[in-house]
Amino acid sequence: MTRFALTIEWDGRPFMGWQHQAHGPSVQQAVEDAAHAVTGEDVLVHAAGRTDTGVHALGMRAHCDIEKPFAPFRLMEALNAKLRPHPVAVLACEVVPDDWHARFSCVARHYEYRIRARRAPLTVEAGFAWRVVPPLDVAAMAAGAAQLVGRHDFTTFRSAHCQADSPMRTLDRLDVVADGDLIRVFASARSFLHHQVRSMVGCLSLVGQGRWTPDDMGAALAAHDRGALGLNAPPDGLYFLSADYPAAAVSG
């Protein structure tokens, strides 16, 4: 039995998220079906994190155990062949130790949220960014974001359906960066609560529009109350960027 680590990219629009769903297609099911077609084995694929319906990934990390011998490159090529026509691709494949786990070994997760500040409807970026009508005060958004960095009770920014045992999380990074009319919000933490990134971005958009002050972000955080949330951003602009792990021996 060999454990393989996969790096996976996908367009989230056709899927109900990463995890298996009884009521619709999931990325996990697509990858597991491809693995079964390649190996003839019932393969369970574990990912670094779950994603919601419509959320994209540029570098999700996952792992699976396979009995048949495969060179990592050949496994990657075979999986990609069987994943067609799903908008899912395996970007990298490595052999990892048997105790390496995509979820439990992960020490940091990184997300990006893309806002397009323009009046015109999105065309080629429809489903891949959130259009917010300008003007947006990016400096004010950055000041509001800074109030959330650190270890806090994020109840306000947590979905009512979140299954985490505790609302306490340490947010290592929440940066707002503008490039023309593209505003990118980068968030990093060891782990996130359900809807946390989308909820933080939604409220930051209110700051950018002048409907909230930067201090209102801190007040919402201190309320520890989902009712204090101003807005939950849509999934369209959210991307799982990458996951970090302790240095470990791998072989390609």
Gap between the Cα atoms of 76 and 95, Å rounded: 12
**What does the mean pLDDT of the chain come to?**
96
Check pLDDT > 70 for residue 249: no
Phi, psi of 187 (to 5 degrees): -130, 135
pLDDT tens for each residue of 19-68: 998 889 999 999 999 999 999 999 999 999 999 999 999 999 999 999 99
Gap between the Cα atoms of 154 and 167, Å rounded: 5
In sequence order, the 6+-apart residues with CB closer than 8 A to the CB of 144 are 203, 204, 207, 212, 213, 214, 215, 216, 217, 218
pLDDT cut 90: percent of the chain above it:
94
Model pTM score:
0.95
Token pair listed for 76: 């990657």
Across residues 103-118, what is the average pLDDT? Answer: 98
Check pLDDT > 80 for residue 90: yes
Domain assignments of the chain as residue spans, ordered by start: 2-105, 108-241
Q: Is cis: bond before 14, omega within 30 of 0?
A: no
Confirm whether 2-105 and 108-241 share one CATH topology: yes
pLDDT tens for each residue of 117-158: 999 999 999 999 999 999 999 999 999 999 999 999 999 999
Tell me whether residue 98 is exposed, middle or buried, using C-beta atoms within 10 angstroms of its C-beta: 0 to 12, 13 to 18, 19 or more: exposed
pLDDT of residue 137: 98
Cite the active site residues.
52
Across residues 171-178, what is the average pLDDT? Answer: 98
Gap between the Cα atoms of 144 and 229, Å rounded: 14
Gap between the Cα atoms of 160 and 167, Å rounded: 11
Output the CATH code of domain 108-241: 3.30.70.660
Token pair listed for 129: 């960014």
Q: Which helix (H) or strand (E) holds 179?
A: strand 168-179
Which residue, chain included where needed, has tokens 């995509």? 102
Output the CATH code of domain 2-105: 3.30.70.580
Gap between the Cα atoms of 5 and 251, Å rounded: 10
pLDDT of residue 56: 98
- Integer-rounded Cα Rg, in Å, for the chain is 19
pLDDT of residue 163: 85
| CA separation, residue 28 to residues 3, 54, 73, 83, 161 (Å) | 17, 14, 20, 11, 21
Which residues on adjacent β-strands are paired with residue 92? 7
Torsion of CA 233, 228, 146, 193, to 10 degrees: -60
pLDDT tens for each residue of 210-242: 999 999 999 999 999 999 999 999 999 999 999
